[in-house]
């Protein structure tokens, strides 16, 4: 059995959103959201190591944006983002989102 490498609980369901980076910007689906990062499902992808801004839309058109770094790219599927160290407010935004979705 494969051991879980992530240290944060995550929400696997998809959310609408978008991403912006040096290589472009696109709407996307975002999944596997945790306090540490997320996976961005999109055909257009940035390069590994690129700084990017991810905006997650949920609920009644509420959006939350996070800055992060592309950790790896899966061509044709998307890319993983590790959120930058967040200030207390940004970290609290993710915590509230995860708690609203039932992740403790």
For the chain, the domains span 13-95
Q: What is the pLDDT of residues 72-98, one digit of tens each?
A: 999 999 999 998 876 656 566 666 666
pTM of this prediction? 0.79
From the DSSP assignment, how many helices (H) and strands (E) are in the chain? 1, 8
Q: What is the pLDDT of residues 22-54, one digit of tens each?
A: 988 899 999 988 878 899 999 888 899 999 999
Backbone phi and psi for residue 95, each to the nearest 5 degrees, phi listed first: -60, -45
Backbone phi and psi for residue 13, each to the nearest 5 degrees, phi listed first: -70, 155
Distance CA 51, CA 71 (A): 10
Distance CA 40, CA 46 (A): 11
Q: CATH homologous superfamily of domain 13-95?
A: predicted glycosyltransferase like domains (2.40.10.220)
Question: Hey, which residues does 19 pair with through a beta bridge?
Answer: 26, 54
């Amino acid at each position: 059995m494969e051991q879980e490498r992530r240290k944060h609980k995550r929400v696997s369901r998809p959310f609408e959103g978008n991403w912006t980076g040096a290589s472009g910007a696109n709407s996307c689906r975002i999944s596997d959201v945790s306090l540490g990062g997320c996976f961005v499902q999109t055909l257009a992808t940035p390069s590994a190591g690129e700084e990017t801004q991810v905006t997650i839309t949920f609920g009644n058109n509420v959006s939350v944006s996070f800055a992060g770094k592309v950790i790896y790219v899966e061509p044709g599927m998307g890319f993983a983002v590790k959120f930058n160290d967040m200030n207390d407010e940004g970290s609290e935004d993710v915590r509230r989102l995860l708690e609203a979705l039932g992740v403790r």
